[in-house]
Amino acid sequence: MLLWTYFVLFACVIILLLEVTCYILVRSMLDREATESLNRIGDEASQYFAVHGPEATQRYILDFREDGMNIHLVAADGSVIIPNDEEDLDFSAELEKFNSRVQGGNSNQSIIFTYGGKLNYVAAARAGNFIIVTYSLHVAHKALGALIIYFVIVGVIAIVVSILVGYSISQKLSRGIRNISANAVKLGKGDFSVEFSNAEYKEIADLSDTLNRVRDEVKKSGDFQRELLANVSHDLKTPLTMIKAYASMVREISGDNPEKRNQHLQVIIDEADRLTALVNDVLNVSKVSSNIDALNIKVFNLTEFLYGIVDKFGYLRETQGYTLDIEADPDLYTRADEEKIGQVLYNLISNAVNYTGEDKKVFIKLNLAAEGDRIKFSVRDTGKGISEEELPEIWNRYYRSKETHSRPVKGSGLGLSIVKVVLESHKFDFGVESEIGKGSVFWVDFPAVGGETDEDLP
């Protein structure tokens, strides 16, 4: 409504301005035109009288008579000489004005002034007479009056039209905005079924689209959080149940049998480790994504660092027959946050181990790119790959493929989201290529640094 009022006010001001300027312009044009013709006609009449004398001038004047414009030959006392049918007229006041303006009575001089609602041309003529031409302003102002009425009518029509148009535009606009704000309130209360729709104005349609996207993202995030809570609580429950069961067994059965007792205690220790790893992952992901930890960038030997991480999987080689094949160029240096890159490499390799095929093979590569400015890391497994639809989803926090999969390295469903946040905060390129039935390759490009350590750097 406020918008509409402004619109109408604006239209009124513009129309008024237009009318006032038109009026001023037309009036000044009319005045100028009248003065010019008065001057011309007066000069012509004076000339005529000077050349042809009174009788011819009488005819000239009678022939001339135009609407509102009259020529008179006047004696010095203001009485009319010609035309002789208007002898009762008296121009003494006009002559007085003329004389007061034209000091010295120069006979060539003519002046124009307004007096008595008329525009008067007065010029000294021969034999002490005067030529006076009058033009009744009444005629001009009557024309102007008609124009003003026309202006007012057009102005009123324009204002009525602007009121109607403004009302309909503002109604449409505010209806759209009111809808959006009502839906936003619903969304704020957690109703994700709201649909922001209003395409009458492009800006509002854009806003609706954006809000629809926000709704989808908020919903997705809510779903993910619920899923994570379900996953994490499930993953926490399993080791806790095991710990409780084995602790009871130690107390009631195996306490006296050192061999069995140790075996059961080992299960308790392993399950406690799993719990620690899970809790660490949850903490990591929230820390990394809320950027609590600033990056601690330094130059380090990526090749050695990678070997160190692969060594952590040594127990899988020995106990479960996994092969982790490494092909790495020696002494490649990069500049990054070593600890966080450690999480990235560990998560990618453990996923490859978890999802590789029956042959239990994982291939890790670390090579300097041909251009020499990048180090290409990749880890390939021989598993069943990731489908096209799933590919964009796997990097999402809390995403976990639906099927349950027994895995040698326990995951929380947070591994790839940690990888993504860490690599994005480093601005490193990374990605995945996968072929169903053949396996997946996860890759990261690290910047190559020429062997110097931080101490050598400026």
> In angstroms, rounded to a whole number, what is the distance separating the alpha carbons of residues 34 and 139?
11
- In the complex, the smallest distance separating the C-beta of residue 184 from ligand ADP, rounded to whole angstroms, is 33
CA 368 distance to own-chain centroid: 43
For ligand ADP, the closer of residues 378 and 440 by Cβ is 440
- In the complex, the smallest distance separating the C-beta of residue 290 from ligand ADP, rounded to whole angstroms, is 18
For ligand ADP, the closer of residues 189 and 402 by Cβ is 402
- In the complex, the smallest distance separating the C-beta of residue 416 from ligand ADP, rounded to whole angstroms, is 3
- In the complex, the smallest distance separating the C-beta of residue 214 from ligand ADP, rounded to whole angstroms, is 25
Footprint of ligand ADP on this chain (CB under 6 A)?
A: 347, 351-352, 354-355, 381, 383, 386, 394, 399-401, 411-417, 440
For ligand ADP, the closer of residues 72 and 420 by Cβ is 420
Residue among 357, 360, 334 nearest 345 (CA):
334
436: CB partners within 8 A, 6+ apart:
384, 385, 386, 387
For residue 440, give both structure tokens.
């997946």
In a 13 Å sphere around the CA of 432, the CA atoms on its Cβ side amount to 23
* 3-state helix vs strand vs coil in the chain, percent to 5: 60, 15, 25
Q: Answer for the pair 192, 221: CB distance below 8 angstroms, yes or no.
A: no
317: CB partners within 8 A, 6+ apart:
323, 324
Residue among 399, 401, 412 nearest 277 (CA):
412
Residue among 195, 200, 175 nearest 183 (CA):
195
For ligand ADP, the closer of residues 41 and 349 by Cβ is 349
For ligand ADP, the closer of residues 376 and 410 by Cβ is 410
- In the complex, the smallest distance separating the C-beta of residue 176 from ligand ADP, rounded to whole angstroms, is 41
Report the residue count for the chain.
Answer: 458
For ligand ADP, the closer of residues 132 and 394 by Cβ is 394
- In the complex, the smallest distance separating the C-beta of residue 211 from ligand ADP, rounded to whole angstroms, is 30
Q: Could you please report the per-residue DSSP string of 150-185?
A: HHHHHHHHHHHHHHHHHHHHHHHHHHHHHHHHHHHH
> In angstroms, rounded to a whole number, what is the distance separating the alpha carbons of residues 109 and 125?
9
Q: Which residue is nearest to ligand ADP (CB)?
A: 411
For ligand ADP, the closer of residues 198 and 417 by Cβ is 417
65 — phi, psi (to 5°)?
-25, 115
For ligand ADP, the closer of residues 176 and 385 by Cβ is 385
- In the complex, the smallest distance separating the C-beta of residue 347 from ligand ADP, rounded to whole angstroms, is 6
For ligand ADP, the closer of residues 69 and 324 by Cβ is 324
Q: Answer for the pair 379, 366: CB distance below 8 angstroms, yes or no.
A: no
For residue 127, give both structure tokens.
């034999």
- In the complex, the smallest distance separating the C-beta of residue 443 from ligand ADP, rounded to whole angstroms, is 12
Rg (the chain; Cα; Å): 50
- In the complex, the smallest distance separating the C-beta of residue 310 from ligand ADP, rounded to whole angstroms, is 16
**400-406 contacts, C-beta under 8 A, 24 or more apart:** 400/227, 400/231, 405/354, 405/355
- In the complex, the smallest distance separating the C-beta of residue 405 from ligand ADP, rounded to whole angstroms, is 8
For ligand ADP, the closer of residues 231 and 367 by Cβ is 231
